[in-house]
Structure 1
Amino acid sequence: MVSRLARVVVGLAVAALPALAALPALVALPADAATPARYTIQGPSRFSPNGDGVQDTVAFRYTLPQRTHVRLTIGPARHRTVQRRVDLGWQPAGRHTWTWNGRNQSGKVVIDRAYVIQLFDADPASGSLSSRASDKVQVDTHFDPTLAAPTYGAGPGVPARVYPRTTVVQDTLPITANVWDNKVDVFELVIRNSAGRVVRRADLDERRMGPNGPSFGTGRTVDWAAVRGGRPLPAGRYTAVASGRDLAGNSGRSEPLRIWVSDDELGWQERTETVTPVESAYSDPCLGSGCGDYVPCGSVVPSTLFAEGLSYRSVDCTGEFRYPLASRSHQVLVPDATGVRGVAEARVAFTGAPTTAGEDDAGELALGSSSASRAVVRGSTGGETPWVTHPSGGAGRTVYDEDGDEVVVPAAVTWSFTTRGADSVDVDRFTVTYRFLAPQR
């Protein structure tokens, strides 16, 4: 029999159940209650300590689970060097803030790159340091856009030209703006006439989808036709400038790009030239994934059958990184190529004969670099490719060499002649016919 005292205790316990259910959840002890709170440190992803008053410092907020002796270090990401050490002394548990002005231990502003800030605490007994938390920040002090446009063989210092009065095609000048920072806030292109009036404005800060989400990329191209309201702009000098601001607060603008809007028109021209293999040869083939990856077994030597001809003598070989072929690239330049808008179409023919009379050896004539614009013809005594649209080497343009000097790549037609296996063919001459757009003079 249950005693009266026992019934009272049970009754009190049952009566208390609703009250216990109403208590907040924090009264329940977590399974890892013995684990101390984590150290944390965090700040903005980038800042610009360039002294312009915009985002010149970065504030790191950190949390301490207990009173400890705090030390901070700052060094380049992916390197073990330390450029700044800070001893903050003993600090109580809780949230704290430390501000960095972007300077190293010597007081100089660090260079643009990613940096890692690490938080250490000291063992009161031994004094040894333990790394507890880290964060990364990007130092970004510049926004330096550049502008470029092809001059089509005009040479250094000559303004890029556009021909809005052309009727056979609509001529446009591709103007490319580059900035080596994909964290762009505002970026635009402005074109003005000689009086300073804006004739074209284009946003360059369009986001693009990349493998890791939206990004700005490093450059955008605006095709400018020098047409406004359906009419060509007046002939004369124009200037293009790219300017903007990045997410670190840096602002910048490009050097002015000079443009000439012409009164002339572009028109189609066609030329046919006959060249010898010796005078048109300009390079060995680039085989494999990169030049020098594979070695051709054959050779290209002076012909004994034709003056100024070449003999393409392949050797049938086997072995790793060996190609049974003999090949040479050839090129003919477009005369007086200034202003030529590239070679639109071309075809190439050759005449020759097997190196050994009576043999049925064949050579291979190829025009164009990409599979979409490549034509190949095989024959032992001659042959001609069909017309190829936009063959390689078609556009005269300006590039930069290893020293940063401007070099003009002229308008040209390029092709190759190759023998394979054990075939050997001597070529007497090539006949090149090409069509291109050029100013009408």
Structure 2
Amino acid sequence: MRRVGPVVLLLLTAVLHVVPASALVTTDAKQEPLLQTVHWRVQFSPNGDGRKDAGRIRFLLSKSARVKLVVRSQITGEVVRGPVRLGRLARGEHLWRWDGKRDGGGVVPDGTYPVMVTATRGERKQTVNVANATVVTTMDRGSLVTTRLPVYPQANQVADRVLLVYLFPGWDYLTEFHADGVPRVVFEIRSGSGDVVRRGIVKHAITPTFAWYARRGDGSAMPAGDYRARMIVHDGAGNRQVFKRQLTVSHEQLIEDVFTDTLAAGQTRRFRVAEEDYCAATPSDRFPDGLSFRPCWFDGPTRAYFTYSVPFAAAPADSFRVSVTGGPTEHGTTDQGYIYGPSQAPTFTVPGDGTTTIPWQTPDLATHPFLPGLSDALWWSFSTESPDSYDVDTFTVEYRHYCEAADEECLNP
């Protein structure tokens, strides 16, 4: 028996990983395929709104051939359209438009429909699943969220702004790793008279975000008063949703206020980052309500992510810093830990017994854990690397925010 060399095996493996299983066809390897796919994924919305009402099915012929096609339900295998006989077509790329209707009329239910094309030339015959046509006539409604209002464009101490964020249905932080993103989002802000004062477009973002400073292009402040934000969300099938939100611009000045809180490490709220492999902290024997970061059982860090919810509305102009107090698990050793905030760089070393404070950080209000609940405005992480072992007693949070001078609720939460 002739052996297959490693290069051939590598090429075969690459082909199996690249070509979708449903697009594989049986053909004579010595001949050029008659038929090839052009665009595998096709989305459209046959709802009569004039936007992507037909699916554009493309395929490529290497030689002239007689062509027919059928459209099947991916769930039941039922033929919903066809056979459609396209006759003899010339060599090259061809386009067939499907209006989403089944034989006899009527739009098919939302779902995926494989399009099978058969090309015949003499005794040669080849059938290929040239596209998976996905019919989507409705969109699940997402949400538009904003950070603290009003916007203060004339504030001297800080460049104040508001964030407008679109969350698609079921958003959670894991979607940042696995979702394809929202195809297109248009943000508009209009004055009370209806004039568009700001417009922006975000494409293919997991969490489309728009920042508005309430300033003109020359940097001057917009007039105080009410404005209307309008967000238009487009999906890949041609559907769209419109969201509206009232915004307010104020010309009042802001004053700085620093909110401070000290927390036992073991009582500080934690969250898990599922995309990382690390060992969890355990209760400390050295500090009451403390946490112990001991060597991990595998070759990885021991880590915890912490979060905190401030008792007032957070704004992107805010900042915070965290101090950690603790010491090596075995008192007197040189073991150390590491702390960092949302910037993730640099990481600050926590040596020996004592307190270490990271520099002021900007809260990330366009991701988890602040989203989707708009509550946990800041986060930080503490970790150790084997063989070091370190115990944390307390964290002290300092949160710098900005309030109107007369806003007692903001200044004294």
Q: Same fold (TM over 0.5)?
A: yes
The one-letter code of the counterpart of 1:73 is V
Aligned partners of 1:181, 1:426: CA distance in 2, in Å? 39
2:337 corresponds, among 345, 351, 364, to 364
1:283 corresponds, among 246, 270, 278, to 270
How far apart are residue 46 of structure 1 and its match? 6.6
Structure 1 residue aligned with 2:348? 375
* Structure 1: runs of 5 or more not aligned: 1-34, 153-159, 206-215, 401-406
In the alignment, structure 1 residue 242 sits paired with structure 2 residue 241: no
Label 1:376 to 1:52 Cα distance change in 2 as closer, same or farther (>3 A).
same
1:198-245 superposed Cα distances (whole Å, 9 cap, x missing partner): 24242527xxxxxxxxxx424754432223475433444322223487
- How do 1:22-421 residues align onto structure 2 when only pairs under 5 Å count? 48-52=45-49, 56-57=53-54, 71-75=68-72, 81-87=77-83, 100-104=98-102, 107-111=106-110, 113=112, 115-119=114-118, 130-131=125-126, 135-136=130-131, 138-139=133-134, 148-152=144-148, 160-176=149-165, 188-193=186-191, 195-204=192-201, 216-218=203-205, 221-228=209-216, 231-243=220-232, 250=238, 252-279=240-267, 281-283=268-270, 290=276, 293-295=277-279, 299-301=282-284, 303=286, 308-310=288-290, 312=292, 314=294, 321=298, 323=300, 328-334=304-310, 336-341=311-316, 343-350=318-325, 352=326, 359-360=332-333, 362-364=335-337, 366-380=339-353, 382-390=354-362, 399-400=371-372, 407-412=373-378, 414-416=380-382, 418=384, 421=387
RMSD (Å), alpha carbons: 5.2
Q: How many residues align?
A: 355
* Percent of residue pairs identical: 20
Aligned partners of 2:273, 2:235: CA distance in 1, in Å? 41
Task: Please identify, of 265-274 and 133-142, the stretch whose mean Cα deviation from structure 2 is larger.
Answer: 133-142
TM-score between both structures, scaled by the size of structure 1: 0.59
Aligned partners of 1:134, 1:300: CA distance in 2, in Å? 57
Aligned partners of 2:39, 2:305: CA distance in 1, in Å? 57
Instruction: Report if the CA contact (8 A) 1:71-1:85 is conserved.
Output: no
How far apart are residue 310 of structure 1 and its match? 2.2
How far apart are residue 379 of structure 1 and its match? 0.9
Aligned partners of 2:344, 2:363: CA distance in 1, in Å? 11
Aligned partners of 2:391, 2:115: CA distance in 1, in Å? 64
Instruction: Report if the CA contact (8 A) 2:320-2:360 is conserved.
Output: yes
How far apart are residue 164 of structure 1 and its match? 1.7
* Structure 2: runs of 5 or more not aligned: 1-30, 169-179, 408-413
Instruction: Report if the CA contact (8 A) 2:227-2:247 is conserved.
Output: yes
The one-letter code of the counterpart of 1:310 is G
The one-letter code of the counterpart of 1:283 is R
Aligned partners of 1:311, 1:110: CA distance in 2, in Å? 54
The one-letter code of the counterpart of 1:174 is L
Aligned partners of 1:343, 1:309: CA distance in 2, in Å? 29
How far apart are residue 300 of structure 1 and its match? 2.4
Aligned partners of 1:244, 1:314: CA distance in 2, in Å? 47
Instruction: Report if the CA contact (8 A) 2:334-2:351 is conserved.
Output: no
1:435 corresponds, among 400, 403, 406, to 400
How far apart are residue 332 of structure 1 and its match? 4.9
Instruction: Report if the CA contact (8 A) 2:147-2:316 is conserved.
Output: no
Instruction: Report if the CA contact (8 A) 1:374-1:388 is conserved.
Output: no
Q: Rg: which structure is higher?
A: 1
How far apart are residue 378 of structure 1 and its match? 0.8
How far apart are residue 366 of structure 1 and its match? 1.5
TM-score between both structures, scaled by the size of structure 2: 0.62
